[in-house]
Amino acid sequence: MASANPSADDYVGFYLDRPTEKQLDELEALRAHALDHPLEPGNSLSWQGPNLHPESLPPADYPRPTTPLPSPHEPRPLLAALLAHDSPAQSGRGWSLRLVDGLQTGADQWSQVWRCEAVDGQGREVGRVVLKLYHQALFRFPDGDEWPDVEQEVFFWWPARHAEACESRAYRDLSAYQGRDVPFCYGFYMFRLPDGNDVVGVVLEDLVDKVVPFAKLVEDPTTAQRGTYEQVAELAYSAFELHRRVTECGILHVAKYAEDLHQLKGSWSCIIATGFGHPLFLDRAREVHRRTLERERAQGPLEPWAEIFCALSNSQVGVRSTVEELFRAMGHDFRRWRDEERAQERLAFLEDRVL
Protein backbone atom coordinates (compact mmCIF):
# COMPACT_ATOMS: atom_id res chain seq x y z
CA MET A 1 0.00 0.00 0.00
CA ALA A 2 2.02 2.87 -1.29
CA SER A 3 1.82 6.62 -1.00
CA ALA A 4 2.13 9.03 -3.89
CA ASN A 5 5.59 10.18 -2.85
CA PRO A 6 4.50 12.74 -0.24
CA SER A 7 7.00 15.42 0.64
CA ALA A 8 8.45 15.59 4.14
CA ASP A 9 5.96 18.34 5.04
CA ASP A 10 2.94 16.71 3.40
CA TYR A 11 1.33 15.03 6.39
CA VAL A 12 -1.85 14.11 4.55
CA GLY A 13 -0.40 13.01 1.23
CA PHE A 14 -1.11 9.30 1.44
CA TYR A 15 -3.09 7.96 -1.50
CA LEU A 16 -3.36 4.22 -1.19
CA ASP A 17 -3.32 1.54 -3.84
CA ARG A 18 -5.80 -1.32 -3.80
CA PRO A 19 -4.32 -3.96 -1.46
CA THR A 20 -3.24 -7.18 -3.12
CA GLU A 21 -4.41 -10.59 -1.98
CA LYS A 22 -0.98 -11.16 -0.46
CA GLN A 23 -1.16 -7.92 1.50
CA LEU A 24 -4.64 -8.75 2.79
CA ASP A 25 -3.43 -12.18 3.87
CA GLU A 26 -0.54 -10.55 5.73
CA LEU A 27 -2.93 -8.15 7.45
CA GLU A 28 -5.18 -11.04 8.45
CA ALA A 29 -2.23 -12.90 9.98
CA LEU A 30 -1.12 -9.81 11.91
CA ARG A 31 -4.64 -9.25 13.19
CA ALA A 32 -5.04 -12.86 14.29
CA HIS A 33 -1.79 -12.61 16.24
CA ALA A 34 -2.85 -9.32 17.87
CA LEU A 35 -6.24 -10.73 18.87
CA ASP A 36 -4.59 -13.85 20.29
CA HIS A 37 -2.32 -11.64 22.43
CA PRO A 38 -4.59 -8.80 23.64
CA LEU A 39 -3.40 -6.09 25.97
CA GLU A 40 -4.74 -6.47 29.50
CA PRO A 41 -4.84 -4.36 32.67
CA GLY A 42 -1.57 -4.74 34.52
CA ASN A 43 0.55 -5.16 31.38
CA SER A 44 3.69 -3.03 31.38
CA LEU A 45 4.79 -1.33 28.16
CA SER A 46 8.35 -0.04 28.05
CA TRP A 47 9.43 3.08 26.19
CA GLN A 48 11.68 2.20 23.24
CA GLY A 49 13.78 5.24 22.39
CA PRO A 50 13.21 9.00 22.66
CA ASN A 51 10.27 11.16 21.57
CA LEU A 52 9.66 10.79 17.84
CA HIS A 53 8.08 14.24 17.46
CA PRO A 54 9.58 16.69 19.98
CA GLU A 55 7.80 19.58 18.28
CA SER A 56 4.49 18.15 19.55
CA LEU A 57 5.29 18.83 23.23
CA PRO A 58 3.81 21.74 25.21
CA PRO A 59 5.74 25.03 25.02
CA ALA A 60 8.85 25.06 27.20
CA ASP A 61 7.55 28.26 28.83
CA TYR A 62 4.05 26.90 29.47
CA PRO A 63 1.69 28.55 30.15
CA ARG A 64 2.21 31.12 27.43
CA PRO A 65 -0.37 33.40 25.78
CA THR A 66 -2.40 31.52 23.18
CA THR A 67 -2.20 32.59 19.55
CA PRO A 68 -3.55 33.41 17.03
CA LEU A 69 -6.73 33.75 19.13
CA PRO A 70 -6.80 33.92 22.93
CA SER A 71 -8.28 31.01 24.85
CA PRO A 72 -10.58 32.01 27.72
CA HIS A 73 -9.73 28.90 29.73
CA GLU A 74 -7.40 28.74 32.70
CA PRO A 75 -4.26 26.63 32.13
CA ARG A 76 -4.33 23.20 33.74
CA PRO A 77 -1.28 21.84 35.61
CA LEU A 78 0.94 19.58 33.54
CA LEU A 79 2.70 16.39 34.64
CA ALA A 80 6.17 17.93 34.84
CA ALA A 81 7.90 14.61 35.52
CA LEU A 82 7.19 13.54 31.92
CA LEU A 83 9.10 16.55 30.60
CA ALA A 84 12.03 16.63 33.05
CA HIS A 85 15.65 16.01 32.03
CA ASP A 86 15.46 12.32 33.00
CA SER A 87 12.01 11.76 31.47
CA PRO A 88 11.23 9.69 28.38
CA ALA A 89 10.74 12.95 26.46
CA GLN A 90 14.43 13.65 26.98
CA SER A 91 16.16 10.28 27.32
CA GLY A 92 13.65 7.57 26.40
CA ARG A 93 15.21 5.08 28.82
CA GLY A 94 14.01 3.20 31.88
CA TRP A 95 10.38 4.33 31.93
CA SER A 96 7.25 2.25 31.43
CA LEU A 97 3.49 2.51 31.35
CA ARG A 98 1.32 0.15 33.40
CA LEU A 99 -2.08 -0.36 31.76
CA VAL A 100 -5.04 0.40 34.05
CA ASP A 101 -8.27 0.68 32.03
CA GLY A 102 -9.02 0.00 28.38
CA LEU A 103 -10.93 2.99 26.98
CA GLN A 104 -11.04 1.82 23.35
CA THR A 105 -9.82 -1.66 22.46
CA GLY A 106 -10.30 -4.52 20.03
CA ALA A 107 -10.51 -4.88 16.27
CA ASP A 108 -11.68 -2.26 13.76
CA GLN A 109 -10.42 0.68 15.81
CA TRP A 110 -8.16 3.45 14.56
CA SER A 111 -6.29 3.30 17.85
CA GLN A 112 -6.09 1.30 21.06
CA VAL A 113 -6.62 3.70 23.95
CA TRP A 114 -5.64 2.93 27.53
CA ARG A 115 -5.53 4.79 30.80
CA CYS A 116 -2.12 4.14 32.30
CA GLU A 117 0.13 4.77 35.27
CA ALA A 118 3.50 6.24 34.26
CA VAL A 119 6.40 4.58 36.08
CA ASP A 120 9.88 6.12 36.14
CA GLY A 121 13.23 4.37 35.94
CA GLN A 122 13.26 3.85 39.72
CA GLY A 123 9.90 2.05 39.69
CA ARG A 124 8.01 5.04 41.13
CA GLU A 125 4.52 5.93 39.91
CA VAL A 126 4.50 9.55 38.74
CA GLY A 127 0.92 10.01 37.54
CA ARG A 128 -1.91 8.91 35.26
CA VAL A 129 -1.82 9.44 31.50
CA VAL A 130 -3.75 8.22 28.47
CA LEU A 131 -1.92 6.14 25.86
CA LYS A 132 -3.16 6.03 22.28
CA LEU A 133 -1.50 3.20 20.31
CA TYR A 134 -1.54 3.17 16.50
CA HIS A 135 -1.76 -0.62 16.27
CA GLN A 136 -1.97 -1.21 12.52
CA ALA A 137 -3.07 -4.84 12.88
CA LEU A 138 -6.26 -3.72 14.64
CA PHE A 139 -7.15 -0.87 12.29
CA ARG A 140 -10.31 -1.22 10.25
CA PHE A 141 -9.54 -3.37 7.22
CA PRO A 142 -9.79 -2.02 3.68
CA ASP A 143 -12.71 -3.45 1.76
CA GLY A 144 -11.37 -4.68 -1.58
CA ASP A 145 -14.87 -4.71 -3.10
CA GLU A 146 -15.61 -1.07 -2.26
CA TRP A 147 -12.31 0.63 -2.96
CA PRO A 148 -12.84 4.30 -3.92
CA ASP A 149 -11.17 6.42 -6.56
CA VAL A 150 -7.54 6.62 -5.46
CA GLU A 151 -7.58 10.36 -6.24
CA GLN A 152 -9.94 10.90 -3.31
CA GLU A 153 -9.03 11.02 0.35
CA VAL A 154 -9.33 7.48 1.77
CA PHE A 155 -10.86 7.95 5.20
CA PHE A 156 -11.60 4.32 6.03
CA TRP A 157 -8.08 2.95 5.55
CA TRP A 158 -5.05 4.80 6.85
CA PRO A 159 -1.53 3.57 7.50
CA ALA A 160 -0.56 3.85 11.16
CA ARG A 161 2.30 6.16 10.17
CA HIS A 162 -0.26 8.50 8.60
CA ALA A 163 -2.38 8.78 11.76
CA GLU A 164 0.80 9.33 13.77
CA ALA A 165 2.00 12.08 11.41
CA CYS A 166 -1.40 13.82 11.38
CA GLU A 167 -1.76 13.81 15.14
CA SER A 168 1.80 14.99 15.76
CA ARG A 169 1.31 17.90 13.38
CA ALA A 170 -2.00 18.81 15.05
CA TYR A 171 -0.41 18.94 18.51
CA ARG A 172 2.48 20.93 17.07
CA ASP A 173 0.16 23.48 15.45
CA LEU A 174 -1.97 23.68 18.61
CA SER A 175 0.99 23.73 20.99
CA ALA A 176 0.00 27.01 22.64
CA TYR A 177 -3.50 25.64 23.32
CA GLN A 178 -2.32 22.51 25.09
CA GLY A 179 -3.54 22.46 28.68
CA ARG A 180 -6.46 24.76 27.81
CA ASP A 181 -8.39 23.79 24.67
CA VAL A 182 -6.69 20.45 23.95
CA PRO A 183 -4.95 17.84 26.11
CA PHE A 184 -1.27 18.01 26.95
CA CYS A 185 0.80 15.92 24.57
CA TYR A 186 3.75 14.29 26.35
CA GLY A 187 5.21 12.88 23.15
CA PHE A 188 5.16 10.07 20.60
CA TYR A 189 7.14 6.94 21.38
CA MET A 190 7.74 3.39 20.27
CA PHE A 191 6.38 0.92 22.84
CA ARG A 192 7.25 -2.75 23.22
CA LEU A 193 4.05 -4.80 23.59
CA PRO A 194 3.92 -8.02 25.65
CA ASP A 195 3.90 -10.11 22.44
CA GLY A 196 7.21 -8.54 21.42
CA ASN A 197 5.86 -6.19 18.72
CA ASP A 198 6.82 -2.52 18.71
CA VAL A 199 3.97 -0.03 18.14
CA VAL A 200 4.02 3.78 18.08
CA GLY A 201 1.78 5.55 20.59
CA VAL A 202 1.14 9.06 21.84
CA VAL A 203 1.07 9.83 25.59
CA LEU A 204 -1.63 12.34 26.50
CA GLU A 205 -3.04 14.14 29.51
CA ASP A 206 -5.49 12.04 31.52
CA LEU A 207 -8.84 13.85 31.44
CA VAL A 208 -11.05 10.82 32.11
CA ASP A 209 -12.28 11.99 35.53
CA LYS A 210 -12.34 15.67 34.63
CA VAL A 211 -14.66 15.83 31.62
CA VAL A 212 -18.05 14.70 30.35
CA PRO A 213 -17.95 13.58 26.69
CA PHE A 214 -20.36 15.46 24.45
CA ALA A 215 -21.45 12.11 23.08
CA LYS A 216 -22.89 11.26 26.51
CA LEU A 217 -24.63 14.62 26.75
CA VAL A 218 -26.16 14.16 23.31
CA GLU A 219 -27.12 10.50 23.57
CA ASP A 220 -28.45 10.18 27.11
CA PRO A 221 -27.83 13.08 29.48
CA THR A 222 -28.51 12.32 33.14
CA THR A 223 -30.65 14.64 35.23
CA ALA A 224 -27.50 16.07 36.80
CA GLN A 225 -26.09 16.85 33.35
CA ARG A 226 -29.14 18.72 32.08
CA GLY A 227 -28.58 22.45 32.04
CA THR A 228 -30.85 25.46 31.78
CA TYR A 229 -31.36 27.08 28.41
CA GLU A 230 -28.81 29.75 29.32
CA GLN A 231 -26.20 27.16 30.30
CA VAL A 232 -26.68 25.12 27.13
CA ALA A 233 -26.52 28.31 25.06
CA GLU A 234 -23.19 29.18 26.69
CA LEU A 235 -21.90 25.68 25.93
CA ALA A 236 -22.98 26.12 22.30
CA TYR A 237 -21.14 29.43 22.02
CA SER A 238 -18.06 27.83 23.50
CA ALA A 239 -18.18 25.00 20.96
CA PHE A 240 -18.19 27.47 18.07
CA GLU A 241 -15.42 29.56 19.61
CA LEU A 242 -13.27 26.46 20.16
CA HIS A 243 -13.86 25.38 16.57
CA ARG A 244 -12.82 28.85 15.42
CA ARG A 245 -9.55 28.74 17.40
CA VAL A 246 -8.68 25.33 15.98
CA THR A 247 -9.61 26.43 12.45
CA GLU A 248 -7.44 29.54 12.73
CA CYS A 249 -4.53 27.15 13.28
CA GLY A 250 -5.29 25.58 9.87
CA ILE A 251 -6.94 22.40 11.18
CA LEU A 252 -10.34 21.28 9.89
CA HIS A 253 -12.78 18.50 10.76
CA VAL A 254 -11.78 18.61 14.43
CA ALA A 255 -13.94 20.03 17.23
CA LYS A 256 -17.03 19.38 15.11
CA TYR A 257 -18.27 15.94 16.18
CA ALA A 258 -19.74 15.00 19.56
CA GLU A 259 -17.03 12.35 20.07
CA ASP A 260 -14.33 15.04 19.64
CA LEU A 261 -15.71 17.40 22.31
CA HIS A 262 -15.68 17.18 26.10
CA GLN A 263 -17.26 19.44 28.69
CA LEU A 264 -15.07 20.21 31.66
CA LYS A 265 -17.02 19.04 34.71
CA GLY A 266 -18.59 21.88 36.63
CA SER A 267 -18.27 24.34 33.72
CA TRP A 268 -20.75 25.39 31.05
CA SER A 269 -18.14 27.38 29.14
CA CYS A 270 -15.03 25.19 28.99
CA ILE A 271 -14.85 22.63 26.19
CA ILE A 272 -11.81 20.52 25.34
CA ALA A 273 -11.20 19.01 21.89
CA THR A 274 -9.61 15.60 21.34
CA GLY A 275 -9.33 13.17 18.45
CA PHE A 276 -6.59 14.45 16.16
CA GLY A 277 -5.76 11.21 14.36
CA HIS A 278 -7.65 12.11 11.17
CA PRO A 279 -7.80 15.89 10.81
CA LEU A 280 -7.85 17.71 7.49
CA PHE A 281 -5.28 20.48 7.27
CA LEU A 282 -6.28 23.62 5.40
CA ASP A 283 -3.21 23.70 3.17
CA ARG A 284 -3.76 20.09 2.18
CA ALA A 285 -7.48 20.61 1.61
CA ARG A 286 -6.77 23.45 -0.79
CA GLU A 287 -4.28 21.30 -2.70
CA VAL A 288 -6.77 18.42 -2.98
CA HIS A 289 -9.41 20.89 -4.22
CA ARG A 290 -7.01 22.29 -6.83
CA ARG A 291 -6.10 18.85 -8.16
CA THR A 292 -9.76 17.81 -8.26
CA LEU A 293 -10.66 20.89 -10.30
CA GLU A 294 -7.84 20.20 -12.75
CA ARG A 295 -9.13 16.65 -13.27
CA GLU A 296 -12.72 17.80 -13.68
CA ARG A 297 -11.86 20.66 -16.07
CA ALA A 298 -10.06 18.20 -18.32
CA GLN A 299 -13.42 16.45 -18.80
CA GLY A 300 -15.39 19.58 -19.70
CA PRO A 301 -16.81 22.89 -18.36
CA LEU A 302 -17.69 23.03 -14.67
CA GLU A 303 -20.79 24.36 -13.00
CA PRO A 304 -20.08 27.54 -10.96
CA TRP A 305 -20.77 25.75 -7.66
CA ALA A 306 -18.03 23.19 -8.38
CA GLU A 307 -15.36 25.93 -8.23
CA ILE A 308 -16.16 26.81 -4.61
CA PHE A 309 -13.79 25.55 -1.93
CA CYS A 310 -16.15 24.37 0.79
CA ALA A 311 -13.87 22.62 3.30
CA LEU A 312 -14.11 25.48 5.81
CA SER A 313 -17.88 25.80 5.76
CA ASN A 314 -18.32 22.02 5.70
CA SER A 315 -16.24 21.80 8.86
CA GLN A 316 -18.52 24.30 10.58
CA VAL A 317 -21.64 22.41 9.48
CA GLY A 318 -20.53 19.61 11.76
CA VAL A 319 -20.35 21.98 14.75
CA ARG A 320 -23.83 23.28 14.05
CA SER A 321 -25.20 19.74 13.82
CA THR A 322 -23.59 18.76 17.13
CA VAL A 323 -24.92 21.87 18.85
CA GLU A 324 -28.41 21.24 17.48
CA GLU A 325 -28.30 17.69 18.84
CA LEU A 326 -27.17 19.06 22.21
CA PHE A 327 -30.15 21.42 22.48
CA ARG A 328 -32.53 18.62 21.55
CA ALA A 329 -31.04 16.24 24.12
CA MET A 330 -31.24 18.88 26.85
CA GLY A 331 -34.89 19.63 26.03
CA HIS A 332 -34.35 23.18 24.72
CA ASP A 333 -35.21 24.96 21.47
CA PHE A 334 -32.25 25.22 19.08
CA ARG A 335 -34.16 27.64 16.86
CA ARG A 336 -34.44 30.10 19.73
CA TRP A 337 -30.65 30.09 20.11
CA ARG A 338 -30.07 30.11 16.35
CA ASP A 339 -32.03 33.35 15.97
CA GLU A 340 -30.06 35.23 18.64
CA GLU A 341 -27.67 37.86 17.31
CA ARG A 342 -24.70 36.34 19.11
CA ALA A 343 -25.44 32.94 17.59
CA GLN A 344 -25.87 34.45 14.12
CA GLU A 345 -22.33 35.84 14.38
CA ARG A 346 -20.98 32.36 15.12
CA LEU A 347 -23.02 30.67 12.42
CA ALA A 348 -21.83 33.22 9.83
CA PHE A 349 -18.15 33.02 10.82
CA LEU A 350 -16.98 31.03 7.81
CA GLU A 351 -19.54 32.12 5.24
CA ASP A 352 -17.18 34.67 3.68
CA ARG A 353 -14.16 32.34 3.81
CA VAL A 354 -15.18 29.51 1.55
CA LEU A 355 -13.45 30.66 -1.67
Structure confidence by residue, pLDDT tens digits, 171-205: 999 999 999 999 999 999 999 998 888 999 999 99
Residue finishing a domain among 154, 173, 205: 205
Residues 170, 268 within the same domain: no
Angle at 210 between CA 59 and CA 224, to 5 degrees: 150
16 within a domain of the structure (yes/no): no
Angle at 250 between CA 109 and CA 55, to 5 degrees: 70
* Domain count across the chain: 2
Average pLDDT over residues 285-307: 77
Residues 226, 194 within the same domain: no
Structural domain containing residue 38: 21-205
Residues 180, 215 within the same domain: no
At 199-239, the pLDDT tens digits run 999 999 999 999 999 888 888 778 767 899 999 999 999 99
Residues 195, 217 within the same domain: no
Residues 145, 242 within the same domain: no
Whether pLDDT at 348 is above 90? no
Banded pLDDT at 275 (limits 50, 70, 90): confident
Banded pLDDT at 18 (limits 50, 70, 90): low
Q: How many CA atoms lie within 13 A of 271 on its CB side?
A: 32
- Distance, first Cα to last Cα, the chain: 34
215 contacts: CB under 8 Å, gap ≥ 6:
258, 259
Angle at 25 between CA 44 and CA 145, to 5 degrees: 115
On whether the CB atoms of residues 128 and 118 are closer than 8 A, the answer is: yes
Whether pLDDT at 8 is above 50? no
321: CATH: 1.10.510
Q: What is the mean pLDDT of the chain?
A: 83
The whole-angstrom separation of Cα 15 and Cα 161 is: 13
7 within a domain of the structure (yes/no): no
Q: Looking at per-residue confidence, does 313 or 233 come out higher? A: 233
